[in-house]
C-alpha cells in the first residue's frame, strides 16, 4: 500500500513537471521569435547579438538550482552537494551546448530575413529531422498516429518552399530571402539532431537523472552556447556597436535594452521547457509540442506585425493542425489503453526528486 502511494506521488510529480515544461515551452516558443523579430523590425542588425540572447539568460537557472540545493540540504545535510553532475554529463552537455550555439546563429539569421509567420512554418520541419534522429539514436518507437503527425507537420513546412516570392520583406533582395530560408531550414535540421542527442545523453548517463540534474545540464548547455556566440560577437565587434545601435533604435534607447533583456528571459523559458519535456517524456514529444505551437505563433505574428497570410500559409497551417490533432488523438487512445493494464513496478518509474 505504501509503495503504491509512493508510485502515485512520483507519477503526479512527473505530470506536474510535464505541465510546467509545456507552459515554459509555450511562452518561449511563441514569445521568442516575436521579441527577436521586434529587434530587427525597429533597426537592429546584429545577428550574433540576437543568437547570444537565445541562451545568454542562463544565470536565471541558478535560482531554481539554489532552491533545489537548499531542499537537499534540509533532507540530508552531510551528503548534499551543490554540484551533482559527473564528467560524462558535463562534457556531453558542453558539446551539445556548442551545437546549440551554432543553431542559435542559424536561427537568428533566419529571423533577420524572414517574417515570423514564414519562419515558424519552416521551423516546423524540425519535427521530421527529430523523428529520424530519434529513431537512429534512441530507437524511438512510432505508432501510426505519430508517423502521420510527423508527415503532416513536415509537409506543412515544406509547402512554403513551393511559393514564397510574395512574402519577402520590403527592401530585401531575393538572394537574402533565399539565404534566410535555407538558414532557417538548417537550424531546424540541427535542432532536430540536438533534441534526440539530449535524450541519448540521459540514457547513457550512469547517474540517475533528476529534475535538478536536468537544470544543471541546461545551465552547462546554455553557458557553452553563449561562449560560442560571444566569440562570434567579439569577431564581429558587436559589443562596440551596441551603444550606437541603441541610440538609433526605432522604439527608443531604453526600449532597446528592454527588448534585449526580455528576449534573453523568454528564450530561456523555451530551452527549459524543451529539455524538461525530454526528461518527462521524450525528444519526439518535445518536438511535437514545439511544432504544435505553430498556429499560436502564426496568429500572433499576423496580429502584431500585420504579416501577410496567403494561400500557401493557410495550407501549411491546416496540415500542421491536422498533424497536431492526429498525434494527440493517438496519445489519448494509447493512454486509455494503458489504464486497463497493470500498474508499473517501482523499477520502471524514473525518480524525479533528488534524494542523494
Alpha carbons 12 and 145: distance in angstroms, whole number: 26
State the cell numbers at 320: 500542421
What is this structure's pTM?
Answer: 0.83
Q: Give the phi and the psi of residue 82 in degrees, each rounded to 5.
A: -70, -30
* 25 neighbors 273 (Cβ within 8 angstroms): yes
**pLDDT tens across 238-259, in order?**
999 999 999 999 999 999 999 9
Burial status of residue 115 (CB atoms within 10 A of its CB: 0-12, 13-18, 19 or more): buried
Question: Is residue 40 very low, low, confident or very high in pLDDT (cuts 50, 70, 90)?
Answer: very high
pLDDT of residue 335: 63
Among 107, 128, 111, 150, which Cα is nearest to 301's? 111
State the cell numbers at 233: 560577437
Alpha carbons 70 and 93: distance in angstroms, whole number: 24
Q: Does 294 have pLDDT greater than 80?
A: no
Q: Does 355 have pLDDT greater than 50?
A: no
pLDDT of residue 339: 58
Q: Does 349 have pLDDT greater than 50?
A: no
Q: Which residue has the higher pLDDT, 80 or 65?
A: 65
Mean pLDDT (the chain) is 83
Question: Is residue 79 very low, low, confident or very high in pLDDT (cuts 50, 70, 90)?
Answer: low
* 89 neighbors 210 (Cβ within 8 angstroms): no
Q: Does 148 have pLDDT greater than 50?
A: yes
Q: Does 304 have pLDDT greater than 60?
A: yes
pLDDT of residue 348: 36
By mean pLDDT, which of 109-118, 215-224, 338-347 is the weakest? Answer: 338-347
Amino acid at each position: 500500500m505504501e509503495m503504491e502511494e509512493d508510485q502515485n506521488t512520483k507519477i503526479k510529480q512527473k505530470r506536474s513537471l510535464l505541465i510546467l515544461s509545456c507552459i515554459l515551452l509555450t511562452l518561449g516558443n511563441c514569445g521568442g521569435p516575436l521579441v527577436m523579430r521586434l529587434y530587427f523590425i525597429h533597426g537592429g542588425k546584429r545577428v550574433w547579438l540576437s543568437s547570444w540572447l537565445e541562451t545568454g539568460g542562463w544565470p536565471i537557472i541558478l535560482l531554481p538550482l539554489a532552491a533545489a540545493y537548499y531542499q537537499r540540504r534540509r533532507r540530508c545535510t552531510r551528503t548534499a552537494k551543490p554540484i551533482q553532475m559527473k564528467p560524462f554529463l558535463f562534457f556531453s552537455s558542453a558539446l551539445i551546448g556548442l551545437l546549440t550555439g551554432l543553431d542559435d546563429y542559424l536561427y537568428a539569421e533566419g529571423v533577420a530575413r524572414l517574417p515570423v509567420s514564414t519562419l515558424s512554418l519552416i521551423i516546423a520541419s524540425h519535427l521530421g529531422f527529430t523523428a529520424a534522429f530519434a529513431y537512429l539514436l534512441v530507437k524511438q518507437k512510432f505508432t501510426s498516429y505519430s508517423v502521420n503527425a510527423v508527415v503532416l507537420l513536415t509537409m506543412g513546412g515544406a509547402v512554403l518552399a513551393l511559393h514564397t516570392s510574395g512574402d519577402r520583406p520590403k527592401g530585401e533582395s531575393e538572394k537574402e530571402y533565399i539565404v534566410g530560408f535555407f538558414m532557417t531550414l538548417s537550424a531546424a535540421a540541427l535542432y532536430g539532431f540536438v533534441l534526440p542527442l539530449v535524450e541519448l545523453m540521459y540514457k547513457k548517463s550512469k547517474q540517475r537523472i533528476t529534475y535538478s540534474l536536468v537544470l544543471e545540464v541546461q545551465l552547462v548547455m546554455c553557458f557553452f552556447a553563449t561562449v560560442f556566440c560571444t566569440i562570434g560577437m567579439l569577431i564581429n565587434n558587436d559589443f562596440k556597436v551596441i551603444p550606437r545601435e541603441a541610440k538609433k533604435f526605432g522604439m527608443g534607447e531604453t526600449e532597446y535594452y528592454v527588448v534585449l533583456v526580455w528576449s534573453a528571459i523568454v528564450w530561456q523559458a523555451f530551452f527549459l521547457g524543451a529539455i524538461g519535456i525530454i526528461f518527462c517524456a521524450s525528444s519526439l514529444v518535445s518536438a511535437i509540442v514545439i511544432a504544435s505551437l505553430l498556429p499560436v505563433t502564426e496568429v500572433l505574428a499576423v496580429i502584431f506585425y500585420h504579416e501577410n497570410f496567403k494561400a500557401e500559409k493557410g495550407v501549411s497551417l491546416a496540415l500542421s493542425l491536422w498533424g497536431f490533432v492526429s498525434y494527440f488523438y493517438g496519445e489519448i487512445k494509447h493512454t486509455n489503453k494503458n489504464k486497463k493494464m497493470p500498474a508499473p513496478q517501482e523499477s520502471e518509474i524514473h525518480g524525479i526528486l533528488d534524494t542523494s
